[in-house]
């Protein structure tokens, strides 16, 4: 029986840093959105609205990195080492592992990446002694180096010494069968989606409609004080609301787009779930179309 031993990185500091950055991101984006609401000048309104959107762009990345850290694990088996980090998977066969050591085993300290965020040290650097080092880690203080013919992986299990001991114990038992070498990265998934005509068209159409709706709403809000959001059965206006509420339609549409993109990409890379991914991508198109129809009805009854 092939025993699988799981090690996880220390996630406390990384999750705390990402949560703090997300709160700051929401606060800054929300402040610009408030300034947009308070502005009565169309040009200034659009500038504040764009500033709110741009300042909120890091949010999906921060959410993904937090999700990746929660899901991160290193699995040791008699057949090799498997790395799971968010949507990325890396399977290293036991035959490809040349050595496994701690950084302090070397005379010269290894060079960490220039930019590193606690909880998401995901970059590569060139070391003069051991060559290319790819970090798939939550920190750079407690690392384990796993050498392969192509590069050295820098991992950050919570207990590096236990990780090395578990690896050597599993390696001594011998391998049943060599696992297939595999490397799957999120950016490669997006490349695959761009080559898939169906997925590409659905996603581009959803994004285009959402952005067009955002531009339309940004011109409507400064020129209308109120908009009808409720109708009687006889098609008479029942309730009016501030026009600023219209901004919720494109913003919610864009939010759902990014959620569907992430979940759809996750399903797309799983064997046998491609049709399910198409359904998720289609749902990202259904919502902006529905909101656009709603916007036309609202303007038609103003």
Count of residues in the chain: 302
Q: Please answer whether residues 295 and 213 qualify as being in contact, where contact means their C-beta atoms are separated by less than 8 angstroms.
A: yes
Q: Please answer whether residues 87 and 265 qualify as being in contact, where contact means their C-beta atoms are separated by less than 8 angstroms.
A: yes
Contacts of residue 278, Cβ cutoff 8 Å, sequence gap at least 6: 198, 199, 202, 264
Tell me what pLDDT residue 146 has: 93
Q: Other CB atoms closer than 10 Å to residue 298's CB: what's the count? A: 19
Interatomic CA distance for residues 18 and 24, integer angstroms: 10
E strand or H helix that includes residue 255: helix 248-268
Strand ranges for 78-206 from DSSP E: 80-85, 88-93, 99-101, 124-127, 131-136, 144-147, 152-155, 182-184
> Can you read off the two tokens belonging to residue 46?
């659009």
Residue given tokens 């916007």 in the structure block: 295
Q: Please answer whether residues 206 and 258 qualify as being in contact, where contact means their C-beta atoms are separated by less than 8 angstroms.
A: no
Q: Please answer whether residues 181 and 91 qualify as being in contact, where contact means their C-beta atoms are separated by less than 8 angstroms.
A: yes
Tell me what pLDDT residue 41 has: 60
Tell me what pLDDT residue 297 has: 74
Tell me what pLDDT residue 220 has: 74
Tell me what pLDDT residue 295 has: 78
Profile the chain (302 residues) by mean pLDDT over runs of 10 residues.
Answer: 81 93 92 77 68 83 89 89 87 88 86 85 86 91 91 92 90 66 62 80 88 80 64 52 71 83 80 85 86 76 56
> Can you read off the two tokens belonging to residue 189?
């998934």
Q: Please answer whether residues 93 and 181 qualify as being in contact, where contact means their C-beta atoms are separated by less than 8 angstroms.
A: yes
Interatomic CA distance for residues 79 and 72, integer angstroms: 20
Q: Other CB atoms closer than 10 Å to residue 108's CB: what's the count? A: 10
Q: What distances in angstroms separate CA 185 from CA 98, 106, 139, 188, one per listed residue?
A: 23, 30, 20, 5
Q: Report the SS3 class of residue 112.
A: coil
Chain-centroid distance, C-alpha 8:
19
């Amino acid at each position: 029986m092939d025993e699988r031993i799981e090690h996880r990185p220390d996630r406390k500091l990384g999750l705390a840093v990402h949560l703090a950055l997300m709160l700051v991101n929401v606060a800054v984006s929300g402040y610009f959105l408030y300034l947009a609401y308070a502005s009565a000048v169309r040009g200034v309104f659009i500038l504040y609205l764009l500033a709110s959107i741009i300042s909120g762009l890091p949010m999906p990345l921060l959410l993904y990195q937090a999700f990746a850290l929660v899901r991160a694990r290193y699995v040791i088996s008699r057949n090799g080492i498997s790395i799971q980090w968010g949507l990325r998977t890396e399977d290293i066969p036991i035959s490809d592992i040349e050595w496994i050591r701690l950084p302090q085993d070397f005379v010269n300290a290894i060079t960490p990446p220039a930019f590193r965020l606690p909880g998401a040290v995901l970059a590569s650097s060139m070391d003069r002694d051991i060559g290319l080092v790819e970090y798939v880690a939550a920190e750079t203080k407690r690392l384990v180096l796993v050498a392969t013919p192509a590069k050295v992986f820098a991992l950050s299990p919570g207990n590096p010494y236990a990780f090395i001991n578990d690896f050597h114990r599993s390696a001594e038992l011998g391998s049943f069968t060599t696992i297939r070498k595999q490397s799957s990265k999120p950016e490669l998934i997006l490349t695959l989606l761009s080559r898939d005509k169906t997925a590409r068209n659905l996603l581009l159409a959803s994004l285009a409609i959402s952005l067009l709706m955002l531009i339309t709403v940004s011109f409507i809000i400064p020129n209308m004080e109120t908009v009808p959001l409720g109708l009687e059965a006889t098609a008479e206006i029942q309730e009016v609301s501030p026009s600023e509420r219209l901004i919720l339609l494109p913003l919610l549409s864009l939010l759902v787009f990014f959620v569907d993109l992430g979940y759809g990409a996750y399903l797309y890379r799983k064997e046998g779930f491609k049709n399910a991914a198409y359904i998720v991508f289609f749902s990202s198109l259904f919502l902006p179309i529905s909101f656009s129809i709603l916007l036309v009805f609202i303007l038609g009854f103003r």
